[in-house]
Amino acid sequence: MERWIENHCNSQQILLVGEGDFSFSACLARAFGCATNMVATSLDSQASEWGKHWSCVSHLNDLRQRGCQVLHDVNVHDMHRHYFLSWKKFDVIIFNFPHAGHYPGFGESHPRVIDARVMLRPGGEIHVTTRDDYPYNTWHVDSPASSAGLFLTEKVWFEKSDYPGYHNRRGGDIDSNETFALGESYTFKFEAKPYCMY
């Protein structure tokens, strides 16, 4: 039986990148009842993850019990060459709040933040959720997407309450398990331009 939560359903092959405490992945898994269609990843190692986001432990346990593949040390810049991910294709790639931490030279405007089109199935989408109020809207998330061979198909309001149990966490080393203000947040949906499909 097909189960939906907002823009996502259990019949889609879903990749989540840059997860903080994995509460968003866990929210989807609970809504689906099973998470065998999902791969959830974090930039941090497992040990570092536990140190930064103590709240991740229960979410990781829940995900694994529901059949989700969980990977650590996955960098969005080269994840298409990752030993496990390189041979997989996805219907949806989700990247929530790419600039949740403080990494010099890396934010929503970085040209490789959403350079993952080679990992999409035909007709697949990349969903980037970010704030779209000042000063965050000056990053123009659609510009690096266009440079990466993607085009914006839809922009939808992101309502945190639509995702029960999700807690947006900071990604840096300062107050990393604290939430941050979401302001005017939207999910930007991108598809690969036809000539960029692989």
State whether residue 7 is helix, strand or coil: coil
CATH 2.30.30.100 fits 11-196, yes or no: no
pLDDT along the chain (198 residues), means of 10: 94 95 96 97 85 86 97 90 94 85 48 72 93 82 78 94 90 66 92 65
CB atoms within 10 A of CB 60: 23
- Break the chain into its structural domains and give their ranges: 11-196
Beta strands of 55-119 (E only): which ranges? Answer: 69-71, 90-96
Distance between CA 188 and CA 182 in Å, rounded? 15
Dist. CA 24–CA 81, nearest whole Å: 24
| Beta bridge partner(s), residue 185 | 131
**Spatial CA neighbour of 168 closest among 6, 127, 27, 160:** 160
